[in-house]
Amino acid sequence: MENEEIQIPTNHPRAESLRIRETLIRYWKDHHIVADSGLIAHGRGEAFDYLIGETTIPPAQEATTAAAAHLLLARKPVISVNGNAAALASKELVKLSHLSGAALEVNLFYRTRERIEAIGNLLYEAGASKVLGLGDDNSHAIIPELNSGRRITDRSGIFSTDVVLVPLEDGDRTEALRKLGKIVLTIDLNPLSRTAQTASVTIVDNLVRAIPNLVSEVNRLKSEDKQEEKCRKIVDRYDNGRILADALNFIQRRLSVLSERAL
Ligand code: ATP
Ligand code: MG
């Protein structure tokens, strides 16, 4: 099986979803970038992607605009990168970092030296100019109240940032980062997760669609006149509770239509 390419018929109804699975498996098996539990977490996300119709829904688009505005307003934004995010979107994450001025920091729940280095190398290969979170103990700062590897952060990165984008986060850390007063932007297909519920901005979408969308929103906002004023207005009007309600209502309506069709 090693390195064997699985042929996915292009007309398969779940071709894109299967292609993403194969990518994750390759980064798990060959590159040791994705953790075992990363594969399972992806399955949880896939189930919700099925429910939203594997497309970017309007509340996700709105949240993406707010996230882009936060990144542009931030004093010192950081993008936290884990194994799944690196495997699925390394090039787009680097693009987002360059465009928004956000630093990239490797931060892992299942932290091993091998995975940290592999993810750092992947980001450098994708064009990153600097990656935080790879360093020795001198650059570490501990986030209180956390037990997983994610408590170890870079002193000049997540630890001191005002705005952090945490794609595919776990609930404990989102809560801890919020308690530290940070603005937390997340991408999570499950609008019911603790991450989704406690973040400042939740993009209910697949990471593979959400990061390129964020890149285009940052680009769009950067080209506007009175950029800062416009971004401020966007974040002031934004209400994450309503976005989550809209996402749940979208799923509810879609299921009603589908269940009527099945009768
Ligand atoms: P929480 O800890 O926030 O309560 P959880 O315990 O239900 O969440 P975890 O396994 O900790 O879930 O985290 C995985 C999360 O990532 C899930 O909510 C899942 O929906 C989401 N997810 C997985 N893959 C993707 C993806 N490709 N794009 C967006 N979200 C994803
Ligand atoms: Mg969790």
For the chain, what are the domain ranges? 58-251
Q: What share of the chain is helix, strand, coil (3-state, %, to 5)?
A: 60, 10, 30
State the pTM of this model. 0.94
Question: Atom 11 (ligand 1): residue with closest C-alpha?
Answer: 170
Q: Ligand 1 centre from 263 Cα, in Å?
A: 32
Q: Which residue has the tokens 């700062």?
A: 141
Taking all residues of the chain, what is their mean pLDDT, rounded to a whole number?
93
Q: What are phi and psi of 184, to 5 degrees?
A: -110, 120
From 22, 170, 178, mutation site for ligand 1 pocket: most ligand atoms within 8 A of C-beta: 170
CA 4–ligand 2 middle distance (angstroms): 32
Which pLDDT score, from 0 to 100, does residue 99 have? 97
226 vs 14: CA distance, rounded Å:
43
Cα–Cα dist 47/133, whole Å: 31
pLDDT tens digits along 143-168: 876 777 788 888 889 999 999 999 98
Give percent above pLDDT 90 in the chain: 79
Work out which ligand 1 atom sits closest to the CA atom of 47.
Answer: 20
What is the per-residue pLDDT across 194-222, written as a single tens digit (0 to 9) for each? 999 999 999 999 999 999 999 999 999 99
Average pLDDT over residues 74-98: 97
pLDDT digits (tens, 9 = 90+) for 54-85: 999 999 999 999 999 999 999 999 999 999 99
Ligand closest to the CA atom of residue 43: 1
Whether 211 contacts 190, CB under 8 Å:
no
Superfamily of domain 58-251: Phosphopantoate/pantothenate synthetase (3.40.50.12640)
- Strands 152-154 and 140-142, by their bridges, are antiparallel
Query: DSSP 3-state assignment of 227?
Result: helix
Q: Which residues surround ligand 2, an ion (CB under 5 A)?
A: 170
**Closest by alpha carbon to 48, among 168, 153, 159, 136?**
168
